[in-house]
Structure 1
Amino acid sequence: MIKASDPDNSLTERERKNVAILESIKRYGPISRTDISKITKLNIVTVSNYVNNFIEQGVVIEKGLDISSGGRRPTIVILNPKSAFCIGVDLGVFTIRTVLTDMEGTVVARAKGAHPRDTADSVVKAITRQVEEVIGASQVDPKKLRGIRIGAGGVIDREVGTIRCTEGVASVYVPITQLLSEKFKLPVRLDHDVTTAAYGEWSLGAGTDVDIMLFMYSGVGCGMIINGEIYHGHSGTAGEVSLREQQEGVADVWIGNISALKPWAAHLGIPDDAREAIEKGGVSKISDLVGGRLEEITLETVFQAI
């Protein structure tokens, strides 16, 4: 059953039905109203009313007739991907990436830049510049923009819109969602990077045929989709667990030689993998960036080589 995946648990019942029906059309279209009803568990009258409304808005398009199993051939519908667009911001440790996509997730414009490490104001300005850049490059009608979603690491307050960062990156103790919403006149939501990645994988990637999914994004994050809905838990930190190999002299809760309480290093072992691959004869720009001194490879070096 397709459900409305609402990261903020604030959708009305009507909005949840909207999302469930559109999600079904996006995943399985061309599709008939009858099949949408079966997938969403909503009655056929409700589905027809919603679909007809989508057609009037230009969000959904009728596309011919389906094969009949008896009686009149049903009309099939598809999503109109260019009817609306959204903006996604990845607030990474070293880099900020912004994309503007259509309703099928196709990237229309993208921007990339360094993540400022000094002040919250610098971070907000960097995101603002990138959002302005993708809007300008896309040449999309601003009236078709539906919202901005920010995925970030650290300790997230989704309600207030603040981010407490680690690894020497400036924390954002200003309401970034409110500031961007006032600037662009769009709804802006903030969530953990792992949660946004989990929803993306469930909606567009390898998780499109499952209702329950755990998405391991980093050593301290796990996105959770349960019965087709993002699960944050009571405190909003569900999934914020981690694994780390046991270290001598460190008291912890252990399962074999794995700790369920300590995080991996922030680099997630990626520099080690890069060193090992190069030592085995792999050719990479990474080696040039460190002048052949493989012991100096860091996570930032790997990102620079991408």
Structure 2
Amino acid sequence: MKKIEKHDQDVIRLHNKQMILEIIKKRRPISRAEITKITKLSPTSVGRIVGELCEQGLVRETALTSVGVGRKAIMLDIDPQAVFTFGVDIGKKVIKFGVMEFSGKLLHEERVEHTALKATPEATAALISETINVIIANKKLDKSRIIGIGIGVPGVIDHDRGIVQYSSTLGWRNIPFAQFIQDKLHILTVIDNDLKVKILAEYLLGSAQGSRKTALIELGTGVGSSLIIDGDIFRGGSNSAGELGHTTLDPNGNMCECGKRGCLQTYIDESAILHEANRIKETADMQQLFAAAQNEENWAQDIISRTSLYIGITINNIVCMYNPDAVILCGDLVENYSEIVPLIEEQCGQVVWEPFRDTFKILTSELKSKSIVVGAAMLVMNNYVDKS
């Protein structure tokens, strides 16, 4: 029992520490009294945590600032360039890079065309390492201030050991990818599932700021989800929580690439939607389908309406299981065709179980295409703060 209590206390302490650091980053310079008012923590707790952050060199006291007649407050600030992290997003056809300063701002972004399925994991690691070295040189970054590299990877990831257990997107199985990068650059490297770092980004810097429990659903070429509770990513027993696309909608339904019938992704991912459309009329891409719907072609409107219904059912299932206060919709389907969002909201009004209908907000991604780079970089930053 004592071990459990200590674990809970440690989790609360780390959460409060990260919360206070984020407040200082966003509102700097700021006084201890203002932090106490915002967080509703006791002045003693705030003072202790601020003391820790100052000792670690993450926060510094600045010149006294007047706050009234005869009263002055010591203000708290950070050095934005005290440390840097790299965020990397490995996609099907492109790898994105970002350099983040301690304040959470991206100093530099870069894209490199790369088809991962046509390259070995070793070749992909070499390209990432080479690109990071070029960025370090071009931006004249002090390598001693680079505290780590975070990489978002699609698939099932052993986050603790840095292994890509399975990624159908990349064609990888049991690849110790973090070690590949670390061996080349001699910089701490961590990897995680792309949607898990994406929700971290939205929670810290995007549309989920202020939420206590957020669910994220990605809709596009695949279907996936992730969950964050009070700043902690929900991972499940093997870091595989969130494989939403392979939940069963109909046991006698469409055949999925995984070998099962009726998986959710066979109804709402891009290829499934286009397959349905082509049974009625030749449809080259999603743009053509949505154009047909805007031209009031009934067949296209029906397909989009049915897709919205299935997404509404998906949201209902997640809300019933986890009771989040926010659900973020992201991915190509909602980011490229935002007109589907009100249709999904309308379906939710019908299919979400009544006790949950007014308990959550439906949001869209604020960071969009930057979210995985930002989240991967923040993952490293958070680990650094936790262990400091």
Residue 84 of structure 1 is matched in structure 2 by 83
Residue deviations 1:16-51, cap 9 Å, x none?
Answer: 665343223123433222333452836143034124
- CA distance in 1 between counterparts of 2:107 and 2:93 reads 23
Residue 197 of structure 1 deviates from its aligned partner by 0.8
Residue 137 of structure 2 is matched in structure 1 by 136
Residue 146 of structure 1 deviates from its aligned partner by 1.1
Cα distance, 1:231–1:71 mapped onto 2, change above 3 Å: farther
Residue 185 of structure 2 is matched in structure 1 by 184
Cα distance, 1:100–1:238 mapped onto 2, change above 3 Å: same
Structure 2 residue 287 is the aligned partner of structure 1 residue 274 = yes
Q: What aligned pairs does 1:58-73 form with structure 2 within 5 A after superposition?
A: 59-60=59-60, 62=62, 64-65=64-65, 67=67, 72-73=71-72
- CA distance in 2 between counterparts of 1:205 and 1:154 reads 23
Contact 1:90 1:98 in 2 (8 A): yes
Which one-letter code corresponds to 1:24 in the other structure?
I
Unaligned ranges ≥5, structure 1 = 1-10, 253-258, 282-298
Residue 379 of structure 2 is matched in structure 1 by none
- CA distance in 1 between counterparts of 2:47 and 2:88 reads 38
Residue 109 of structure 1 deviates from its aligned partner by 2.5
Residue 166 of structure 1 is matched in structure 2 by 168
Residue 195 of structure 1 deviates from its aligned partner by 0.8
Q: What aligned pairs does 1:35-50 form with structure 2 within 5 A after superposition?
A: 35-37=34-36, 39=39, 41=41, 43-50=45-52
Which of the pair is proportionally richer in helix? 2
Residue 81 of structure 1 deviates from its aligned partner by 1.5
Residue 115 of structure 1 is matched in structure 2 by 115
Residue 79 of structure 1 deviates from its aligned partner by 2.8
Which one-letter code corresponds to 1:104 in the other structure?
S
- CA distance in 2 between counterparts of 1:44 and 1:116 reads 47
Residue 171 of structure 1 deviates from its aligned partner by 0.9
Residue 208 of structure 2 is matched in structure 1 by 207
- CA distance in 2 between counterparts of 1:106 and 1:222 reads 26
Which one-letter code corresponds to 2:200 in the other structure?
Y
- CA distance in 2 between counterparts of 1:116 and 1:166 reads 11
- CA distance in 2 between counterparts of 1:246 and 1:47 reads 47
- CA distance in 2 between counterparts of 1:269 and 1:99 reads 33
Contact 1:111 1:133 in 2 (8 A): no
Helix, strand or coil for the counterpart of 1:235? coil
- CA distance in 2 between counterparts of 1:134 and 1:269 reads 40
Cα distance, 1:200–1:145 mapped onto 2, change above 3 Å: same
Contact 2:15 2:230 in 1 (8 A): no
The share of aligned pairs that are identical, in percent, is 22
Residue 106 of structure 1 is matched in structure 2 by 105
Contact 1:81 1:103 in 2 (8 A): yes
Helix, strand or coil for the counterpart of 2:157? strand
- CA distance in 2 between counterparts of 1:179 and 1:162 reads 10
What is the aligned length? 266
Unaligned ranges ≥5, structure 2 = 1-9, 256-261, 275-283, 295-331, 337-368, 370-388
Residue deviations 1:112-136, cap 9 Å, x none?
Answer: 2213323221221122122222222
- CA distance in 1 between counterparts of 2:88 and 2:206 reads 18
Residue 197 of structure 2 is matched in structure 1 by 196
Contact 2:122 2:180 in 1 (8 A): no
- CA distance in 2 between counterparts of 1:246 and 1:17 reads 40
Which one-letter code corresponds to 1:52 in the other structure?
C
Cα distance, 1:110–1:186 mapped onto 2, change above 3 Å: same
Q: What aligned pairs does 1:157-306 form with structure 2 within 5 A after superposition?
A: 157-163=158-164, 164-167=166-169, 169-171=170-172, 173-218=174-219, 219-242=222-245, 249-250=252-253, 261-262=264-265, 264-265=268-269, 272-276=285-289
Residue 278 of structure 1 deviates from its aligned partner by 6.0
Work out which structure has the larger RCO, using CA pairs closer than 8 Å and 6 or more positions apart in sequence: 2
Specify which of 21, 28, 52 is matched with residue 54 of structure 2: 52
- CA distance in 2 between counterparts of 1:234 and 1:248 reads 25
- Normalization by structure 1: what TM-score? 0.71
- CA distance in 2 between counterparts of 1:214 and 1:99 reads 25
Moved more, 216-225 or 260-269: 260-269
